[in-house]
Amino acid sequence: MGCRPDRSLDATNIAAGGCAGRPALFRHTGPVSVRDNLRLLGFFVAAVVVLAACTGSEESAAPAGPKLDPEPRGLQTISAAAMGEVQSVRFSLSRTGAPVFIDAAEAISLESLEGVFSSPASAEAELKVLVNQSLGTKIGAVAIDEEIWLSNPVTGKFETLPPGFDIDPSSFFDPKGAWQPLLEKLTDVSFIAEEDRDGEAYHITGTAPEEQIRSITAGLVRGEDVVVDLWLDPSSGLVKAIEFETSLAGEPTQWELTLSDYGESFEIRDPTLGQ
């Protein structure tokens, strides 16, 4: 495409193949910060939620405990406490329906996101996006403590964020700041049934306040309370999946976020090593 490897693409020029400055989707262009826009989908997720004192091997080897009482309010309290103590998790976000843009120019829409989170502040994620609703590409993001890197959408090489940019993939999943408040502040909580959702799961439903739904969707959903369906592990109360529908600009968008591999050990490395 004629771009030098050390140059980044502007969001509006990706489809055209032109070279420009840093990607527009990572610029701080308005009152809503990019940190708010790309934090998950707590991802988004995340990283990506209970295992405060357990190692991954201990967690996977431990037998499942007795099932929790499905009484909605008690289950809500237990789940909120469990989610607030998560040390590591894998998260996967997908959406269908009306496009949801992650840049101010509304040129880049999020299709899906995959990532892992490890406490206290390390994460990596890959975002699948559409540029101008026609060109599919991927963007990688890695955070280790205070260091943050993004992949160039053309060369694939990771570059350290320069001053003035605000994106932190470690905030894609926020156990205490996003997930615990979400569970605590659900209203109209009801137990639906015990169902099969990658194994046994308690299906509950409730209404999430706008502030909490904004947090777990990385700021992509704003301005509305949302009815959510949650599937919880019947022994621990950990969230296995959440689904909901939003209406942005009057058009419906469907969201599905799945969480797995709680307590596993994820090795998150400096992505520039070996480039």
CATH number, domain containing residue 248: 2.50.20.20
- Does any domain span residue 273? no
Which has the closest alpha carbon to 237: 62, 88, 64, 93? 64
- Does any domain span residue 73? yes
pLDDT computed for residue 217 by the predictor:
81
CA distance 141 to 9: 16
State residue 65 phi and psi, 5-degree precision.
Answer: -85, 180
pLDDT computed for residue 119 by the predictor:
85
State the Cα angle at 86 between 84 and 92, rounded to 5°.
105
pLDDT under 70: residue ranges of the chain: 1-64, 161-172
The range of the structural domain enclosing residue 45 comes to 11-53+67-260
pLDDT computed for residue 232 by the predictor:
98
- Does any domain span residue 245? yes
pLDDT computed for residue 160 by the predictor:
84
Which has the closest alpha carbon to 90: 45, 129, 121? 45
| CB-CB contact of 259 with 49 (8 Å) | yes
- Does any domain span residue 275? no
- Does any domain span residue 272? no
User: Which residue in the block uniquely carries the two structure tokens 């959406």?
Assistant: 95
- Does any domain span residue 152? yes
Q: What digits encode the pLDDT tens for the residues 210-225?
A: 999 888 887 778 888 9
Q: Which residues, in sequence order, are bridge partners of residue 137?
A: 129
- Does any domain span residue 147? yes
Q: In this structure, what token pair is assigned to residue 137?
A: 């590409």
pLDDT computed for residue 172 by the predictor:
66
Work out how many domains the chain is built from and give that number.
1
- Does any domain span residue 265? no
Report the number of secondary-structure helices (H) and strands (E) in the chain: 5, 11
pLDDT computed for residue 71 by the predictor:
96
Full-prediction pTM beyond 0.85?
A: no
16 Cβ partners below 8 Å, 6+ apart?
none
